[in-house]
Amino acid sequence: MPDLKEFTRVVAENHASLRYYIQGLGVSAAWVDDMAQDTFLVAYRKWEEIGRVENPGAWLRTIARNLVLNETAKLNRRQRLLDENLTTLLVEADHEGLPAGELSDLSERREALYQCMQILSERARGVVERHYFKDRKSEDIGRELSMKPAAVRKMLFHARQALAGCLRSRVKEA
């Protein structure tokens, strides 16, 4: 068992930044607290195995990242994650250059995503915004834009590929 005072201090110092980091990985806002709690539970259980942790914040982010990756493999992943593909993309694009949990981390990710959205055609951007930000199904989007649902899904697939390439290049630049 870890020293309760030390563990409580680590939780207090890292809770807000960890929640920010988890949200930045694309976890639905409704599940951020649960994922943070799961992260602290894993850390508590493994505390003695690890011994002295030089950078508890980085260790907690690694645990959280692994939990998010595990979540994508579960059957109920669509309920917790905004989108499996987008979350996987953000996790893979994650790098140590940004101080996780700080405002710049989330805002830089969102800014990069916003800039990458601009490379999409207006129609593709509209489809992506409706699907990911307004939580509309492909059938509903199709009706709104006079498209077949299969065409909407195909456009989403190609838009995700374009966004993935753009985000990867932005991460390399950073």
**What domains can you pick out in the chain, each with its CATH number?**
1-100 (1.10.1740), 118-174 (1.10.10.10)
Q: Which residues contact 30 (CB under 8 A, 6 or more apart)?
A: 80
Q: pLDDT tens for the chain, 174 residues: list them.
A: 667 888 888 899 999 999 999 988 888 888 889 999 999 999 988 887 766 778 888 999 999 999 988 876 664 444 454 555 666 666 655 544 444 444 345 567 777 888 888 999 999 999 988 887 777 888 999 999 999 989 999 998 899 888 888 887 776 665
Helix (H) or strand (E) holding 46: helix 32-50
Task: Give the model's pLDDT for residue 171.
Answer: 64
Task: Give the model's pLDDT for residue 112.
Answer: 80
Report which residue type is found at 106: L
Q: Are 93 and 171 in contact, with CB atoms under 8 Å apart?
A: yes
